Amino acid sequence: MPKTFLIDTTRCTACRGCQVACKEWKNLPAVPTKQTGTHQNPPDLTHFNLKLVRFSEHVEKNGKVSWYFFPDQCRHCLEAPCKQASSVEGAIIQDEATGAVIYTEKTAQEDFDVIRGACPYDIPRQNPENKRIVKCDMCSDRLKAGMLPMCVKSCAMGAMTFGERAEVMDLAQKRLAEVKKTKPKAQLLNPDDLAVIFLVEDDPKKYHEFAVAQAPALLTRKQMLAGAFSPLRRLARAMQG
């Protein structure tokens, strides 16, 4: 049974502690960035930023300003489209014990556009120097040592939970029921397909374009022949009712 995250955005204050903790644990260097008129910084995920707290501001019909926080990262898809699109043996693997989708040094031999294009959440990034494709690895080194992922450990607001899938799913449903009492639009995002489940209280599009699965930019011949991409197929089926 894979491990699972619950990221409860209703508890997130956009403190960015998780973003910084990820960077520190992964020993990723600081990079020049720029202020783009929003609290979100850097503006997007990069090969040195595997976790990014996205920040959106919306003016509602009544003139009130609402803020939406979304601590973005790889969803560790249960049937990962990026892995299905891989053409290099051993470049993208899935750890049996945890379900973590892990990119190895062999990703340098992959076609980056194909791998990024296959991801419904636009997560993979490439290091331009060594050509390796990178993303969150579920802090596999910490899991092996019996520790929580660094981002989960760092969240003082208790917005992130990590553990056995059945227990986290149970908690997610209970928390959803609680939030729905005051926020009827609350929902879990693609919970049946992912090991990183977000709870949001409003339209997911208000949080981030890729908060829910988007159609892949590139669907490879290999994927089409395999009839792969089950997360999107399930989503399409659900929308058809």
Kindly give, in sequence order, each residue whose CB lies less than 8 Å from that of residue 146, ignoring residues fewer than 6 positions away. Answer: none
Work out how close the CB of 78 gets to ligand SF4 at its nearest, in angstroms, rounded to a whole number: 9
Cα separation of 57 and 65, whole Å?
Answer: 7
Residue nearer to ligand SF4 on the CB measure, 109 or 230: 230
Q: Residue 158: which region, alpha, beta or left (left: phi > 0; alpha: psi -120 to 50)?
A: left
Residue nearer to ligand SF4 on the CB measure, 13 or 33: 13
**Amino acid at position 228, single letter:** A
Nearer to ligand SF4, 176 or 189 (CB): 189
Residue 170 CB, nearest distance to ligand SF4 (Å)?
A: 21
As measured in angstroms, the least distance from the Cβ of 84 to ligand SF4 is 9
Are 223 and 79 in contact by the 8 Å Cβ rule? The answer is: no
Q: From the CA atom positions of the chain, what is the Rg in Å?
A: 18
- Smaller CB separation from ligand SF4, 184 or 226: 226
Residue closer to ligand SF4, measured from CB, 61 or 91:
91
Give least dist CB 174 to ligand SF4, A: 19
Query: Nearest approach, Cβ of 228 to ligand SF4 (angstroms)?
Result: 11
- Which residue number, 99 or 176, has a Cβ lying nearer to ligand SF4? 99
Q: How far is the CB of 62 from ligand SF4 (least distance, A)?
A: 26
CA 110 centroid distance within chain: 21
Least separation in angstroms between residue 123's CB and ligand SF4 is 4
- Rank residues 47 and 76 by Cβ distance to ligand SF4 and give the closer one: 76
Task: Report the interface residues with ligand SF4, using CB under 6 A.
Answer: 12-18, 22, 25-26, 50-51, 53, 71, 73-77, 80-82, 101, 119, 121, 123-124, 135-139, 149-151, 154-155, 157, 159-160
